[in-house]
């Protein structure tokens, strides 16, 4: 098979990826495969200390290394005076290179651009930096203590950000942002409760580990900045680079080759500012490609500690929730100030709870910055509320599945942010999960030294709202179509998905459609390829752009055929009078007769909503993403090792556009979840990462996958809506596994990951209490 043959054989009922042949031949170009003439190679010197004042930096010897073209420090950036040296998607709190202070181990201090990496590294080795160490904070407890050292002395600089972001920093403390949700009367709700459960659940920092680490090429010339970069959000990179350089956005060009994985790590500027600054200083194009060790200190998932006070009636109805959530956002805000909103309201869960009070905080510490991570706060939230739900079920003597059935949202119930639930499928998802796993009430079954048991979980997740996607399309004189979008291909198959939307709407084969990779000079605005929003938002925009072209085709044909537009139809790549294929005019002929060269179509899709900054009520999400998981595990009582025997991943998709990719994304969520459930954790000691490489930090291999995996992407075509599935089936995994372990052993692990050590400790504690293993 060749690439041409593959494209001709595209089956819309199956989907897949447009460039599949390029992907199995190693030819699909990532950022690291691009070379620009005259390009230099960059390396960064990073802070060895978690918090320190920079007393001096001596780069004299570094500058003398043959091949070195530019050596840059934060002080140089300030001295230049022509760059705004701070960036960040909410607060401008992150310096391009450290200015006076370093705030985490790995904070970039000096950048070098040289003819090759050997010269750049040699130069770094010759830089002398003297630091005065400052007291540092790493844990939430340390950061929140009275008199704690401040990670940022100054109040955060604000700047333009997303419409949904609510900002309420607490200067003079390490609280970077605070989100509140106030629904109903929480004290009255607790008054109605027969039992109140008060539990704390925590999640550690983990890393995204995209197989392709961050890479960027920058070229500054002719008054413009051009970047080739693997980013999920090209338009925020463009606006931030324009802000840094003080130039119009039209003079920043961001080109996005396919990504070797993103998972949120490649949202918002990371290495783009320093690469561009080095290109400016060197007056040559510069490439920066992070090592795996650097990737680990560039962005992480937020560690979180979530306290849930949950009031329930004796018959198992949740009547009040008072949740306090702390997210460790590290040394710089990144998107943490927004993530705590989603992660905060998310702790109310997919349940009908009339009275909710939530405080959610982003907390600065001297660890690597935390940012967007697949699941966006809901992993941490769902781990808490779905774990607690099984404790409640146990205490009340109610079957965990039945307890969920009594509380899960139905159409018309108010979700936590106050809007009525529509298109609810929680019950259906739970029933399917319970049925597939063979739900047995959570019975523990002894099998030699192992105990087997099952667990379930159900989650709700929002998608960023309001948001905007614009698509444009060009119908060519041969009837083929160019589709222009800024949606980023990162393995989810969005280019095929968009081609399938256009093919279906225009009635032409997908192989007659080309989907352009994002290039801000060419492709129109898309807010972000994240939040599981692209198929819904950009897909709708693509359909609109094609409809724009359809209307033009009908107008042209109506003139040519002298027939009312209402009497025409589109079929088989032509416009024709209804039921008269013999009078059909092919698209290409209409384009030629238009004398426009091509027909241009465009459309914008906007979602409306947002939350009140004081109450957190309003419209939290354009629609609500829904998923359920069911796990059967075996726990070895002698070693504490947990094996996931079977797993069911259920997710509501509405309509499925690209079936193979929908399955792959769901399977991928399980792989992600297995790691976070059982072994992934970034371990710090005194702010120093102990396992920042793939020898010491484990991610799931093929051997870690559940013995049997059921991928259940639930489709309801009649609903005529498309729900994102890129993240949705991930958050249930950790809690479903944790609940299964709980039912197998009686050991309730409250802090991820569920390691053999913790399970054994739990088993010993139970033995000491003379509580028999069930």
Partner 1 sequence: MTSTGAPGASEPRSADVDGKLSLTLRVNGRDHAVRARVHHTLLDVLRSEIGLTGPREGCGVGMCGACTVLVDGRPISGCLLPAVMAEGVEITTVEGLEGPNGELHPIQEAYVAHTGFQCSYCTPGFILATKALLDERPDVTREEATAYLAGNLCRCGSYVKILDSVMDARDRVRDG
Return residues touching partner 1 (CB under 8 A).
1-3, 6, 16-17, 20-21, 23-30, 32-33, 118, 208-212, 258-263, 291-293, 490-493, 660-661, 663-665, 667-672, 693-695, 699-703, 705, 709, 711
Among 318, 324, 373, 313, which Cα is nearest to 347's? 324
Phi/psi region, residue 334 (left: phi>0; alpha: psi -120 to 50; beta: rest), is left
User: 292 or 406: whose CB is closer to partner 1?
Assistant: 292
CB 649 within 8 A of CB 710: yes
**Least distance in angstroms from the C-beta of 306 to partner 1:** 26
User: 1 or 551: whose CB is closer to partner 1?
Assistant: 1
**Least distance in angstroms from the C-beta of 260 to partner 1:** 3
**Least distance in angstroms from the C-beta of 8 to partner 1:** 13
User: 285 or 354: whose CB is closer to partner 1?
Assistant: 285
> Phi then psi for 624, rounded to 5 degrees?
-110, 130
User: 255 or 353: whose CB is closer to partner 1?
Assistant: 255
> Phi then psi for 132, rounded to 5 degrees?
-110, 110
User: 232 or 480: whose CB is closer to partner 1?
Assistant: 232
User: 88 or 205: whose CB is closer to partner 1?
Assistant: 205
For residue 667 the two structure tokens come to 């399977």
User: 554 or 713: whose CB is closer to partner 1?
Assistant: 713
Please tell me the number of Cα atoms within 13 Å of 693 on its side-chain side: 5
CB 642 within 8 A of CB 702: no
User: 353 or 699: whose CB is closer to partner 1?
Assistant: 699
User: In whole angstroms, how far apart are CA 253 and each of 223, 256, 738?
Assistant: 11, 10, 46
For residue 350 the two structure tokens come to 């997919």
247-264 core/surface letters (b: 16 or more CB in 10 A; e: else): eeeeebbbbbbbbbbbbb
- Rounded CA-CA distance 119/65 in Å is 7
Task: Report the residue count for the chain.
Answer: 774
Rg of the chain on CA atoms, in Å: 27
Residues 6+ apart with CB under 8 A from 254: 227, 229, 231, 234, 235, 237, 238, 241, 518, 519, 520
- Rounded CA-CA distance 720/422 in Å is 13
**Least distance in angstroms from the C-beta of 539 to partner 1:** 19
For residue 410 the two structure tokens come to 């139905």
569-581 core/surface letters (b: 16 or more CB in 10 A; e: else): bbeebbbbbeeee
**Least distance in angstroms from the C-beta of 261 to partner 1:** 4
**Least distance in angstroms from the C-beta of 154 to partner 1:** 37
What single-letter DSSP state applies at residue 51?
A: S
CB burial of residue 172 (10 Å; 0-12, 13-18, 19+): exposed
User: 362 or 437: whose CB is closer to partner 1?
Assistant: 437
User: 388 or 665: whose CB is closer to partner 1?
Assistant: 665
**Least distance in angstroms from the C-beta of 66 to partner 1:** 9
For residue 409 the two structure tokens come to 């949202």
**Least distance in angstroms from the C-beta of 679 to partner 1:** 13
């Amino acid at each position: 098979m060749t690439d041409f043959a593959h494209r001709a054989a595209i089956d819309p009922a199956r989907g897949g990826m447009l460039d599949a042949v390029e992907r199995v031949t190693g030819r699909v170009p990532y950022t690291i495969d691009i070379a620009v003439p005259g390009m230099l190679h960059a390396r960064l010197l990073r802070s060895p200390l978690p918090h320190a004042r920079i007393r001096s930096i001596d780069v004299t010897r570094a500058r003398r290394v043959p091949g070195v073209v530019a050596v840059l420090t934060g002080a140089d950036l300030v001295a230049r005076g022509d760059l705004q040296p701070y960036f960040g998607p909410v607060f401008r709190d992150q310096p391009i290179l450290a200015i006076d202070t370093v705030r985490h181990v790995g904070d970039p201090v000096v950048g070098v651009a040289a003819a090759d990496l050997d010269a750049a590294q040699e130069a770094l080795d010759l830089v002398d930096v003297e630091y005065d160490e400052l007291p540092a904070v790493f844990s939430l407890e340390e950061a929140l203590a009275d008199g704690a050292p401040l990670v940022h002395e100054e109040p955060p600089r604000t700047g333009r950000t997303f419409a949904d972001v609510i900002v309420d920093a607490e200067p003079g403390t390490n609280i970077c942002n605070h989100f509140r949700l106030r629904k109903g009367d929480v004290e009255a709700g607790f008054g109605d409760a027969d039992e109140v459960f008060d539990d704390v659940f925590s999640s550690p920092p983990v890393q995204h580990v995209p197989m392709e680490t961050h890479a960027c090429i920058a070229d500054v010339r002719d008054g413009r900045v051009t970047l080739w970069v693997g980013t999920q959000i090209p338009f925020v990179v463009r606006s931030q680079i324009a802000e840094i350089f003080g130039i119009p956005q039209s003079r920043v060009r961001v080109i996005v080759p396919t990504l070797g994985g993103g998972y949120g790590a490649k949202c918002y500027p990371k290495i783009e500012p320093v690469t561009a600054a080095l290109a400016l200083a060197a007056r040559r194009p510069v490439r920066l490609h992070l090592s795996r060790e650097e990737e680990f200190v560039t962005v992480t998932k937020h560690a979180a500690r979530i306290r849930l006070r949950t009031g329930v009636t004796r018959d198992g109805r949740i009547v009040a929730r008072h949740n306090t959530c702390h997210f460790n956002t590290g040394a710089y805000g990144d998107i943490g100030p927004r993530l705590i909103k989603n992660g905060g309201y998310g702790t109310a869960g997919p349940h009908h709870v009339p009275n909710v009070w939530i405080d959610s905080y982003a907390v600065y510490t001297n660890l690597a910055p935390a940012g967007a991570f697949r699941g966006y706060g809901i992993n941490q939230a769902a781990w808490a509320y779905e774990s607690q739900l099984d404790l409640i079920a146990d205490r009340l003597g109610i079957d965990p599945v039945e307890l969920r059935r009594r509380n899960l949202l139905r159409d018309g119930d108010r979700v936590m942010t106050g809007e009525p639930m529509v298109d609810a499928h929680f019950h259906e998802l739970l029933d399917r999960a319970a049925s597939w796993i063979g739900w047995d009430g959570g019975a523990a079954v002894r099998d030699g030294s192992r105990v087997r048991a099952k667990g379930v979980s159900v989650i709700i997740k929002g998608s960023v709202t309001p948001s905007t996607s614009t698509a444009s399309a060009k119908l060519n004189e041969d009837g083929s179509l160019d589709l222009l979008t800024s949606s980023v291909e990162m393995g989810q198959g969005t280019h095929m998905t968009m081609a399938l939307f256009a093919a279906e709407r225009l009635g032409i084969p997908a192989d007659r459609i080309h989907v352009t990779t994002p290039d801000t000079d060419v492709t129109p605005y898309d807010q972000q390829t994240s939040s599981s929003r692209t198929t819904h938002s950009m897909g709708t925009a693509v359909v609109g752009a094609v409809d724009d072209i359809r209307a033009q085709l009908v107008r042209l044909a109506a003139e040519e055929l002298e027939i009312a537009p209402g009497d025409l139809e589109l079929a088989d790549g032509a416009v024709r009078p209804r039921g008269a294929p013999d009078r059909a005019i092919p698209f290409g002929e209409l384009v030629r007769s238009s004398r426009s060269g091509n027909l241009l179509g465009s459309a914008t899709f906007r979602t409306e909503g947002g939350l009140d900054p004081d109450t957190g009520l309003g419209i939290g999400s354009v629609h609500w993403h829904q998923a359920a998981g069911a796990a059967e595990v075996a726990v070895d009582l002698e070693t504490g090792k947990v094996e996931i025997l079977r797993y069911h991943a259920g997710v509501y998709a509405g309509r499925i556009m690209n079936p193979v990719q929908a399955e792959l994304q769901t399977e991928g969520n399980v792989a992600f979840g297995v790691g976070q459930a059982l072994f992934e954790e970034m371990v710090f000691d005194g702010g120093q990462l102990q396992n920042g490489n793939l020898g010491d930090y484990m991610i799931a291999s093929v051997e870690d996958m559940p013995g049997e995996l059921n991928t259940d992407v639930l489709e309801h075509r009649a609903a005529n809506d498309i729900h994102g599935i890129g993240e949705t089936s991930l958050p249930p995994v950790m809690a479903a596994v944790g609940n299964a372990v709980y039912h197998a052993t009686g050991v309730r692990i409250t802090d991820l990951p569920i390691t053999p050590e913790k399970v054994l400790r739990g088993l010993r504690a139970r033995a000491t209490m003379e509580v028999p293993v069930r």
